[in-house]
Structure 1
Amino acid sequence: MQRSRPLATTNPEFSVLEWPGFREYRVENWHLARDGSQRVIKGATGLDWKLAIASVVLGLFWMKIRESTWATITASVLCVYFVWVKCTQVLYESVIVIAPHGIQLETHRGFPPSSVLSASRRFIPMSALQDFVINEGLRRWNVRYYLTAIQRNGENDFSLHVAYENILPHIPVLLEVYKAVQTMLFSNSS
């Protein structure tokens, strides 16, 4: 396995992993601040001071009224909710190109920094892959760009699969992945 970071100065969260037989385009859930300060903005966080304060407040609340059944149930539900929120964060998303066979879109969730607890995968075979495009969408007053795999389900039936749907990386990352997928999958098929 060989790992490279083609946009290391502007988008270091983006990396390309080359394996024998396939190539993975991975975007981790963090990015550099856009103000030029090189500050890291984390999308997924591990244990932090806010969670510590919430745990102390929850512990004090439970000790104060632990004889009450509703307080015990409330404290239990809040604990389960905190654990669930922390363990279902998106760690990274990938587009895996398996040149003669198709592409696979993956989302990995878990507890940062590297504890992957679940992964969801969607494989689109080359026979059903109509195209792989950069689309734009409007969200309030912002224009968002995203990669979309267009899958042909029937003669007049298509479905869209958005790559990096939770992280939504910036356009330089999308352009890099788009060019690579077009070159690897569609340049030889014409």
Structure 2
Amino acid sequence: MTKLAVYCGSATPADLTYIDAARHVGRTLAQRGIGVVYGGGRLGLMGAVADAALEAGGEVIGVIPEALVGAEVAHRGCTRLHVVQTMHQRKQLFTDLSDGFVTLPGGVGTMDELWEAISWSQLGYHDKPVGLLNVAGFYDQLIAFNRHMADTGFIRPQHRGILIHDDSIEGLLDAMAAYRPHETIFAMKASRL
């Protein structure tokens, strides 16, 4: 893995545990020689990841919609900043530029990015690892819900392992490096769907 898309919130929560975790992720990726592909913002967890990676000598590639550049939230210190027209273009470029996905805490936009990465993997649009960093138990209920979807049959047995999660970035990166692609829906016959 030479570049990872990092999905996270643009908000700055009152609990600075999340900002500290984002900084740790940025530093760790840079120290491991893994470039950051992210939403291109300078605020919240996004800015913390980018700043920490840059301070540690890492590569940071931002992908931001033009409307957000106009709102003055773009991080101008990125190694490269791609400005796109739509959110769909943004997510496609995340996928094209990265070797996998790491999701930190965030809100609705972060969830949209995570579930699309999982859905596209399940279908077969990509075969890259999808990681979830469970900072301070933030994603405990989401992990339980994902397990519930699998236990009730809404996630096929072949796709149970798409979502990789860990409480530490180091453990998550190791698990992602060991990921082996699953059988995709596109490769299945109708009788097995």
TM, length-normalised to structure 1: 0.24
Which one has a larger percent helix, Structure 1 or Structure 2?
Answer: 2
Which has the greater radius of gyration? Answer: 1
Higher RCO (CA-CA < 8 Å; seq separation 6+): 2
